[in-house]
Amino acid sequence: MRIIVDGMGGDHAPLQILKGCEQAVRELGVQITVTGPEPALREVMRSEGIDPSGIDIADAPDVISMEDDPLSVVKDKKNSSMGLALRMLSGGEGDALVSAGNSGALLAGGTLVLRRIKGVKRAAFAPVMPTAEGHVMIIDSGATVDCRPEFMAQYGVMGSAYMKRIFGLQSPRVGLANNGSEECKGTQLYVEAHKLLKADGRINFVGNVEGRGIMLGDCDVLVADGFTGNLILKTLEGMGSFLIKELKGMFYANLLTKLAALMLSSKLKPFKKKADYKEIGGAVLLGLTAPVIKAHGSSDARALKNAVRQAAAMARADITADIARAMAPSEEA
Amino acid sequence: MRIIVDGMGGDHAPLQILKGCEQAVRELGVQITVTGPEPALREVMRSEGIDPSGIDIADAPDVISMEDDPLSVVKDKKNSSMGLALRMLSGGEGDALVSAGNSGALLAGGTLVLRRIKGVKRAAFAPVMPTAEGHVMIIDSGATVDCRPEFMAQYGVMGSAYMKRIFGLQSPRVGLANNGSEECKGTQLYVEAHKLLKADGRINFVGNVEGRGIMLGDCDVLVADGFTGNLILKTLEGMGSFLIKELKGMFYANLLTKLAALMLSSKLKPFKKKADYKEIGGAVLLGLTAPVIKAHGSSDARALKNAVRQAAAMARADITADIARAMAPSEEA
């Protein structure tokens, strides 16, 4: 198993990316190819004492910034760390790709270089969050803002395929984000999406899911348009960060509360895991012909390693083939 | 100051409503008129030992349920607790209204009986949440699902008027919910709303606010369409409930953790306040000719009392007149 990692993507690249790669090789037993300007990457590895075993470097001198046009990855910055990573994945030189770089560039480049699975109308960002009962995938969380009902129906099918294989759910419950539980609720887009999801025999559609139900575990796959899904995801992240911060303030208030925090320490870690989005690793980019994981822009080494784990699991389970099979009959129909 | 309270609205009516009224009279020094079937209300007050001083009852034998058509409040169920409450407020028999009943009925009935302030295109539900830095109003959180840019521009103006008076902010920061900070981000609706808000000299528009920024305090008024605003609000509520539940599980794990919880107890209360939506009281219904507060459907006595406090503050500050003044020039233009 070889994972291609965009060495220059993210706020803490390349140091945290390289450290994450070192951890991934050691703990997960994968091989890594890191893309980026080779001399700079080698120098960081040397000066930081990062063990190079299991890590290949593929030279890509250009760098895509957050300000660059997403399409630069396939145009004037083909030799960027992300552009090369995509071309290598497309050429079969690795099993999956991880990037903490510009989401728009990854989506545009992924769609143009790797292409969508036959029948898939739009690729979607699909992060998975821990809930009270298990996990929920939010699909789409920002790839397509101007959405159509038929895209959303496909999100349900793709998300279902992922949750089946990766979380071992027999029949993942697919819900539609909405402002009420009745079928008639929501904008025209959502009323139409509801009809399509309900009629789709490939999935276990459980109907509309309100905001309150998302973290309480009302569904395993939450379908939304990219605009709404992005706001839901980031609102969850922000609320989690906010409460963690408030909690910290509470624990550091005085000696007594610090002692209490110490007494709770073994329990605090799993709690923090559920509230802190940094634990999650990355968002899958579903619908492309090969596995791509978008790691959080602020990823540190541990987050990057978790994203590599996720990428390897997705490649191993061959989710791409599952989605291709699921899409084939609907194309014939 | 007299507040009219819908005695039959909400999951815990009429008992918790009546208890909340008793608390409001005692603690806030307001007069209350409770609407509902008089014999039943009197019987509950007698058997539960609720002090009737300061509480008038206005007889309304019909009851609106969550299943009723919202328009029934002005049609076949005119003599419901909500219908009578709205007519009494319209007739000047009270200064503000509180209801924990059906939101759709309150919106439809409020719009038809009280009418909108001249120039206001749509009334909006506008709850206020505590944030890291202060408070944020989410407007609209569900009144109008099929929204237009010009409604959203007015939400900014109405929300601003409220936050100025009630929270004493000189120049409330108005933000637009969005999936990115750049002006071009979001659906067509949001791109257009951005332009209108930016051009509006009556408000202090700070641009787009992403999901992560909402609870971190990036703005004082968050403008959204009713569909998106509802999902944001309920997602926040759900995440809060979820983390409070996880926290409780952590504290009740064993003797040591229970002791730790005891040591933290003075700090836990304000923390819970920030995470628990039940503390908030109610959502203002902004844009009508008189103050209306929609208390949460699951309101207990304390939540109802908080909603009465909010209603009294809104009546005292005469927000309605502020909004009328703000709307007048734009009508002439």
Instruction: Return the DSSP state at A110.
Output: I
> Between chains, do B274 and A227 touch, taking CB under 8 Å as contact?
no
Instruction: Report how far residue B110's alpha carbon sits from residue B82's, in angstroms, rounded to the nearest whole number.
Output: 10
Query: How many whole angstroms separate alpha carbon B128 and alpha carbon B283?
Result: 7
Q: Which CATH class is domain B124-278?
A: alpha beta
| pLDDT per position as a tens digit, B209-236 | 999 999 999 999 999 999 999 999 999 9
Of B81-90, B254-263, B298-307, least confident by mean pLDDT is: B254-263
Lowest mean pLDDT among A13-17, A154-158, B175-179, B259-263: B259-263
Phi, psi for residue B130 in degrees, rounded to 5? -75, 140
Number of alpha carbons in the 13 Å side-chain half-sphere of residue A327: 24
Which residues on neighbouring strands pair with residue A62, listed in sequence order?
A80
Nearest-CB residue to B227 (from A187, A216, A233): A187
In this complex, is the C-beta atom of B66 within 8 Å of any C-beta atom belonging to chain A?
Answer: no
pLDDT of B279 reads 61
- A29 Cβ under 8 Å from any chain B Cβ: no
Chain B residues close to A239, C-beta within 8 Å: 214-215, 235-236, 239-240, 243
Which of A66, A227, A278 to mutate to test binding with chain B, by most B CBs within 10 Å of its CB? A227
Q: Could you read off the pLDDT tens digit of each residue along chain A, which spans 333 residues?
A: 999 999 999 999 999 999 999 999 999 999 999 999 999 999 999 999 999 999 999 999 987 776 777 777 777 778 999 999 999 999 999 999 999 999 999 999 999 999 999 999 999 999 999 888 789 999 999 999 999 999 999 999 999 999 999 999 999 999 999 999 999 999 999 999 999 999 999 999 999 999 999 999 999 999 999 999 999 999 998 888 888 888 888 888 888 888 888 888 877 777 777 766 666 668 999 999 999 999 999 899 999 999 999 999 999 999 999 999 999 865 444
Percent of chain B exceeding pLDDT 70 equals 95
The better pLDDT of the pair B270, B52 is held by B52
For residue A297, the chain B residues in CB contact (below 8 A) are none
Contact assessment for residue B113 and residue B87, using Cβ atoms and an 8 Å cutoff: yes
Q: Name the strand (E) or helix (H) holding A31.
A: strand A31-36
In three-state secondary structure terms, B297 is coil
Which DSSP string corresponds to A204-254? EEEEEE-HHHHTTTS-SEEE--HHHHHHHHHHHHHHHHHHHHHHHHHHTSS
Distance from CA of B109 to the nearest CA of A (A): 20
For residue B104, the tally of other CB atoms under 10 A from its CB is 18
Is B124 a residue whose pLDDT tops 90?
A: yes
Beta carbons within 8 Å of B310's beta carbon, 6+ residues apart:
B281, B282, B284, B293
* Interface pTM, i.e. ipTM: 0.90
Alpha carbon distance A273, A277 (integer Å) = 8
Q: What is the mean pLDDT of residues B254-276?
A: 78
Split at pLDDT 50, 70, 90, the class of B275 is low
Chain B positions touching A107 (Cβ under 8 A) are none
B246 touches A: beta carbon within 8 Å: yes
At residue B332, the pLDDT reads 45
Question: Is A216 in Cβ contact with B241 (below 8 Å)?
Answer: yes
Q: Which residues of B touch A241 (CB under 8 A)?
A: 212, 215-216
* Region B281-309 average pLDDT: 93
Q: Which residues of A touch B182 (CB under 8 A)?
A: none
Residue with the larger pLDDT of the pair B256 and B65: B256
Q: Give the DSSP letter of residue A35.
A: E
Interface test with A, best of B136, B235, B298 (most A CBs within 10 A): B235
pLDDT of res. A277: 61
Task: Say if the Cβ atoms of B271 and A234 lie within 8 Å.
Answer: no
Tell me how close the Cα of B149 comes to any Cα of chain A, in angstroms: 15
A265 touches chain B (CB under 8 A): no
> Is residue B305 a contact partner of residue B30, using CB atoms and an 8 Å limit?
no
Q: Which 3-state string (H, E, C) describes A260-292? A: HHHHHHHHHHHHHHHHCHHHCCEEEEECECCCE
Please judge whether A263 and B264 are an interchain contact, meaning their C-beta atoms are less than 8 angstroms apart. Answer: no
* pLDDT recorded at residue A221: 98
Q: Does B216 touch chain A (CB under 8 A)?
A: yes
pLDDT at A194: 98
Which residues on chain A are in Cβ contact (under 8 Å) with B187? 145-146, 227
Q: Which residues of A touch B234 (CB under 8 A)?
A: 179, 210-212
Q: Which two tokens stand for residue A96?
A: 């999956």
- Determine the distance from the C-alpha atom of residue B211 to the mean position of all C-alpha atoms in its chain, rounded to a whole number: 21
Please report where in the chains the tokens 């989710």 appear, as a residue. A319
Q: How far apart are CA A262 and CA A13, in angstroms?
A: 34
Antiparallel, parallel or unpaired: β B292-295 and B282-286: antiparallel
A125-278 matches A2-120+287-332 in CATH topology: yes
Residue B147 has pLDDT above 50, yes or no: yes
CATH number for the domain whose boundaries are A125-278: 3.40.718.10
To the question of domain A2-120+287-332 being in CATH 3.40.718.10, the answer is yes
- Measured in degrees and rounded to the nearest 5, phi and psi for residue A135 equal -140, 155
| Closest to B259 measured CA to CA, from A263, A164, A32, A7 | A263
Q: Which residue of A has its CA nearest to B184?
A: A145
Spans of all domains in chain B = 2-120+287-332, 124-278
Residues 102-131 of B with CB under 8 A from A: 131
B273 touches chain A (CB under 8 A): no
Cross-chain residue pair A212–B234, CB shorter than 8 Å:
yes
Tell me the mean pLDDT in the region B50-59. 96
What is the distance in angstroms between the Cα of B35 and the nearest Cα belonging to chain A?
28
Q: Tell me the residue type at A192.
A: E
Point out the residue among B131, B187, B227 whose CB comes nearest to the CB of A186. B227
Residues of chain A with C-beta less than 8 angstroms from the C-beta of B230: 179, 210-211
Phi, psi of A187 (to 5 degrees): -70, 170
Q: Do B250 and A264 touch (CB under 8 A)?
A: yes
* B243–A243 C-beta distance less than 8 A: yes
Q: Which of B233, B234, B246 sits opposite A274 (nearest CB)?
A: B246
Distances (CA, A) of A225 to A213, A282, A299, B13, B27: 18, 19, 25, 37, 46
Average pLDDT over residues B269-292: 81
Please state, in angstroms and rounded to a whole number, the distance separating the CA atoms of residues B277 and B13.
19
Q: Which residue of B has its CA nearest to A141?
A: B179
Cβ contacts (< 8 Å) between A245 and chain B: which residues? 132
* Pure H helices in B110-210: 149-167, 188-199
- Does A328 touch chain B if contact means CB atoms closer than 8 Å? no
Residues in chain B closer than 8 A to A142 (CB atoms): 179
Q: Residue B197: how many CB atoms within 10 A of its CB?
A: 24
> Hey, is the C-beta of B189 within 8 angstroms of any chain A C-beta?
no
